[in-house]
Chains A and B, each alone.
Chain A
Amino acid sequence: MTTPVLSVKDLVVEFPTRHGPLTAISGVSFDLAPGEILGMVGESGAGKSLTGSAIIGLLDPPGRIASGEIWLQGERIDQLRGDDMRVLRGRRVGMVFQDPLTSLNPLYTIAEQLIETIRTHLEISVNEARKRAIGLLDDVGIPAASRRIDDYPHQFSGGMRQRVVIALALAAEPALVIADEPTTALDVSVQAQIIEVLKEQCTQRGASIMLITHDMGVIAETADRVAVMYAGRIAEIGPVKDIIQNAMHPYTSGLMGSIPSLTQEDDRLVQIPGAMPRLAAMPAGCAFHPRCERVFDKCTASRPQLIPMGTHEVSCWLYDDATAVAAKP
């Protein structure tokens, strides 16, 4: 087996408060193979963005990694601090955020920002780097790249800016790109283009993508595997097609049913009652049990771990051999 590009083991993220620590991420583990695209999907408060921030060491204080390990290409990175972390973020992990303006410095031209990033990675002359930068912009679909490279970020439209951010994320040829809601702020007709560019360019360069989004449609288009997150835990993880067509966790199937379809007639949408629990009021046992229609006594008592089920892994007591019998009607 090849070493995974990214390996997260039992990650726990806590926010200390005066009433004791709140656990925002609670025992999340997953691997990301070279060249693979992993989708992290979930509703607000599921902890998907927090997982991304924890990996690149950008947790907002007072949030902190309480336990667990994060490995990048066989090297443990969760204990890196300061400059080591910045180097890691610049060279080995590329980042694309929801708002392109958070990744671009408004005071510098695109050329300056791209050339700087390229030269932290490769020891080449400015001229050489500029050529590469133009090539990158061409690759991400910026028309007339050789002319537009000297423009400032504000001179680009929203979609073009996000393309520039993708070029910037790929400039140092990272092994991993973390994309956190890269299309959420964009118009529908632009979203599709950006997703395509991101996927195409990463695949060509062999970079893995961790794609964090609330939009199941984007995941379906892009990802190889998907992790469905709920209340700081992974509810279900597996190949995209299997999860979409054959969801096993009651939360996943509820989530899929609540999305209005473009092709099917449906008078009523499936609705999951209630809302995601607040961190301060996390239910005991399975975090989803108060909203689950298939809940039984074991769910309220203890927390299910991920259980391998064919191609999926599911954290639900319904699939535990010892208890499943009791739950069947």
Chain B
Amino acid sequence: MNAPMPEPLVEVSDLCREFDVSKPWLNRLIEREPKQFLRAVDNVHFNINKGETLALVGESGSGKSTIAKMLVGLLEPSQGTILFGGQRMRTDTSAEMQVLRKRFQMIFQSPYASLNPRWRVGEVIAEPMTVLAIVKDRREIQKRVDELLVLVGLSAADARKFPHEFSGGQRQRIAIARALSANPEFIVCDEPTSALDVSVQAQILNLMRDLQDELGLTYLFISHDLSVVRHMANRIGVLYLGALVEIADSKTLFSNPVHPYTKMLLDAVPDLAMTGRERKRVEGEIPNPINPPTGCTFHPRCPFANERCKREVPLLKAYGTGVASCHAVEEGRID
């Protein structure tokens, strides 16, 4: 194997994000409660290489959407850095950030809320081009909008319509056309198909893969659905309560999961092929993220937890081609 050295496009290190979830000042004063913080993202590291799809999977409260927002400069990290093509990501609109903004885009979860209902489809798609001053000539913009609509499987005549005239799947195509209009290298896809029906989901996933091949895009794919993630990603990161518990190649993660939480997630997926795959019973629920468990946050649900797990936060260690953070794996208590 002589694969070229992967070239990182996005480098995320020590990323943390806290939210102030305190009650209003007066209530705190009366009830004598301190300020409360929710640590949505806790010390997350990863790289995304050029041309690959990295998926982040997790359940509610895992911090996956918060990471997505920080990665595209919609949210300031509380700690840590995000480098995009070697440049530091910020939330302001300075000239250098505006140059950087041409290079990344995002596709959102809801095809209904992500398009302004009062704008014509043509205006929606043209917005990134005009705001980022990529194409200035009006006729040129028109031409590019038409091309993009055809590229995502709609027709040029659709530019004059309003979003409500389209179905959910078609709207998601429009959102993809908008994301492509500024010619980005990197697209963050935040649950792009979770609001769609399966047959439409298949259309959108196929389209996204075709576009990746055609345009050489890099994706960060965020989802709660393991089978979708397996279909789309080269590498997968598993998040639990804001922390990254495992990253591995897609194939390795599914054939040989290391972290007990990853194993549990895999066991929770219904067996559609009815192969009689052996599965363990899933136990427990996700704890309240405002008051997470001590040590390894997964320990109350983990069949392998011991005293050390309750006390000490595990660090990411390399196992094979991937990394995982688990005391039990490190100590060899799990094979």
Contacts and interface: CB of A to CB of B under 8 A. Distances in A.
Check whether chain A touches chain B (CB < 8 angstroms): yes
Interface of A: 43-44, 157-160, 187-193, 195-196, 214-218, 220-221, 241, 244-245, 254-255, 257-264, 266-273, 275-276
Contacts of B270: 192, 195, 215, 217-218, 220-221
B197 interface: yes
A216 B284 CA distance: 24
Contacts of A266: 231
Contact of A255 (B199, B226, B264, B273): B199
A272 B202 contact: yes
B272 A244 contact: yes
Contacts, number: 122
B271 interface: yes
B283 to A, nearest CB: 8
Contacts of B274: 220, 241, 244-245
25 contacts: A44-B168, A157-B285, A187-B60, A188-B269, A189-B284, A189-B285, A192-B267, A192-B282, A193-B283, A196-B281, A214-B197, A214-B198, A220-B270, A220-B271, A244-B273, A258-B199, A260-B227, A261-B230, A261-B272, A262-B254, A262-B273, A266-B231, A267-B209, A269-B202, A270-B202
A263 to B, nearest CB: 6
A259 B269 CA distance: 13
B272 A188 contact: no
B215 interface: no
B206 A271 contact: yes
A123 to B, nearest CB: 37
B98 interface: no
B169 A275 contact: yes
Contact of B59 (A188, A254, A262): A188
B199 A189 contact: no
B206 to A, nearest CB: 6
A43 B206 contact: no
Contacts of A43: 197-200
B227 A254 contact: no
A259 B197 contact: no
A253 to B, nearest CB: 11
A287 to B, nearest CB: 14
Interface in B152-170: 167-170
Contacts of A195: 270
**A196, A218, A266, A276, most chain B CB atoms within 10 A:** A276
B228 interface: yes
Interface residue tally on B, bucketed by range: 35 or more
B302 interface: no
B211 interface: no
A259 B270 CA distance: 12
B265 interface: yes
B132 to A, nearest CB: 32
A275 B170 contact: yes
B289 to A, nearest CB: 12
Contacts of B286: 187, 189-190
A78 B85 CA distance: 65
Contacts of A258: 198-199, 201-202
A272 B271 contact: no
Contacts of A259: 198, 202, 227, 272
A188 B197 contact: no
Contacts of B268: 188-189, 191-192
Contact of A254 (B170, B199, B281, B283): B199
A262 B227 contact: yes
B169 A263 contact: no
A268 B168 CA distance: 21
B286 to A, nearest CB: 6
B290 to A, nearest CB: 13
Contacts of B277: 263
B199 A160 contact: no
A191 B282 CA distance: 9
A245 B201 CA distance: 21
Contacts of A218: 270
Interface in B244-274: 254, 264-274
B205 interface: yes
Given A189-B265, A217-B269, A44 B224 contact: no
A260 B273 contact: no
Interface string B180-203: 000000000000000001111111
Interface string B216-243: 0000000011111011000000000000
Contacts of B281: 193, 196
Nearest to A240: B274
Contacts of B209: 267-268
Contacts of B169: 275
Given A271-B203, A275-B167, A263 B269 contact: no
A187 B170 contact: no
A160 B287 CA distance: 12
A263 B272 CA distance: 10
Given A43-B197, A192-B268, A220-B272, A262 B282 contact: no
A264 B226 CA distance: 13
Nearest to A42: B197
A178 B282 CA distance: 24
A260 B224 contact: no
B226 to A, nearest CB: 7
